[in-house]
Amino acid sequence: MDLNAVRTFVAVADAGQFQKAAVDLALTQQAVSKRVAALERDVGVRLLTRTPRGAGLTIDGQAFLSHARALLQAEERARASVRPGSRALRIDVVGRRVSLAGYLRDFHRAHPEIALDIVTLPGAEEALAAVRDGVIDATFRAVAMPGQRIPDGIEFTPVHDEPIHLFTGPAHPFARAASVSPAQLAGHRIWMPGNVPGAEWTAYYDALAADFGLTIEATGPNFGVEALIDTIAASSTLATFLGTQTPLVWPAGYDMRLIPLRDPTPVYPHSILWRADNPHPALTAVREYLASVHHDPPDGEVWTPQWAHRSCAHRS
């Protein structure tokens, strides 16, 4: 059904005259008459009749009018659902415990009027495809993984290099160390059961292990963060890696240790990726907020995977 014809019919019904409806719609009276005639042919009945005073509704027109108004209201709701700025900004993050998720929480506190929809897609390829296809507005990822290609029309910019720390229980050999170098961890067991093949964080830690001769174990089922903390707290040999801003809580009696890595400091390169033609105004607001957040760079030399170095040449 031609909604322009429906809108014209409602205008005539409200105005009571074809001529006044034509003025209200910025159309000629002839155009108004043609639209109404086309709608009447479409529904198969007369909706309006001309009278000495203007135009009146037939019995069928009276029955149709409420449905016509509902059609126009449905049209407006449909338009509003995708109107830039009226729907929630949909953003993908690698995990809800990573630092960028925390920055989005801070953004929401600063801008409660902007609705956010936070999702966690399974991998970088899925996230890039979702940005390309308009399923999500943006994603936070470590771009340019081995074999990864950024689709045309997608832009990205680095937003935060997050330092990685060693996480141990009180009985671990490095529990009392002020800092540890990655090379010192050679021969020690780094347990990360959440690392799955193909994931970008797995690619990151694989590169870290290769560059410093580390052994990262991903064996055993991943029962979640609480189970990971329980196991490491009771072990004198197991440790894991955590970002400095990963929000974790453990019982006071566990006496867990978060030990800085130095010489060099591994940093996880977070970037935001979005479609260049995305008109959502909240996307600009999020990017400006992230650019305004101050990040103190770690002291001394830093390490990132070689593929992250390549991505720097294509920064937006």
Q: Are residue 16 and residue 145 in the same domain, yes or no?
A: no
**One-letter amino acid of 265:** T
Give the per-residue pLDDT at 86. 67
CATH code, 289: 3.40.190.290
In this predicted model, what pLDDT tens digit does every residue of 14-29 receive, in sequence order? 999 999 999 999 999 9
Q: Are residue 46 and residue 166 in the same domain, yes or no?
A: no
In terms of average pLDDT, the best of 89-103, 172-186, 200-214, 237-251 is 172-186
CATH code, 66: 1.10.10.10
Q: Are residue 75 and residue 164 in the same domain, yes or no?
A: no
What's the chain's average pLDDT? Answer: 86
Residues 163 and 243: beta-carbon distance below 8 Å: yes
DSSP string, 94-158: S-TTSHHHHHHHHHHHH-TTS-EEEE--SSHHHHHHHHHHTSSSEEEE----TT--PPTTEEEEE
In this predicted model, what pLDDT tens digit does every residue of 29-58 receive, in sequence order? 999 999 999 999 999 999 999 888 789 999
Q: Which of 44, 63, 82 is the last residue of a domain?
A: 82
Identify the bridge partners of residue 117 per DSSP, sorted by sequence position.
90
The secondary structure of 223-236, three-state, reads CCHHHHHHHHHCCC
pLDDT at 312 over 70: no
Give the per-residue pLDDT at 146. 59
In terms of average pLDDT, the best of 3-7, 119-123, 145-149, 290-294 is 3-7
In this predicted model, what pLDDT tens digit does every residue of 79-133 receive, in sequence order? 877 776 668 889 988 765 555 677 888 888 889 988 888 888 877 788 888 999 9
Q: Are residue 77 and residue 157 in the same domain, yes or no?
A: no
pLDDT at 313 over 50: no
Q: Are residue 192 and residue 209 in the same domain, yes or no?
A: yes
Q: CA 93 to CA 75: how far, in whole Å?
A: 33
The secondary structure of 183-224, three-state, reads HHHCCCEEECCCCCCCCHHHHHHHHHHHHHCCEEECCCCCCC
Give the per-residue pLDDT at 306. 83
Q: Which of 67, 82, 97 is the last residue of a domain?
A: 82
> If you count them, how many residues does the chain have?
316
pLDDT at 61 over 80: yes
Q: Are residue 275 and residue 226 in the same domain, yes or no?
A: yes
Domain span holding position 201 = 89-312
Q: Are residue 75 and residue 220 in the same domain, yes or no?
A: no
Task: Report strand pairing: 189-191 vs 215-217.
Answer: parallel
- Of residues 120 and 178, more confidently modeled: 178
- Of residues 144 and 202, more confidently modeled: 202
Give the per-residue pLDDT at 316. 43
How many domains are contained in the chain?
A: 2
Neighbouring CB atoms inside 10 A of 202's CB total: 18
Q: Are residue 32 and residue 52 in the same domain, yes or no?
A: yes
Q: Which of 48, 67, 82 is the last residue of a domain?
A: 82
Q: Are residue 216 and residue 260 in the same domain, yes or no?
A: yes
Give the per-residue pLDDT at 179. 95
Q: CA 162 to CA 245: how far, in whole Å?
A: 8
Pick from 26-40, 140-154, 156-170: least confident:
140-154
Residues 180 and 264: beta-carbon distance below 8 Å: no
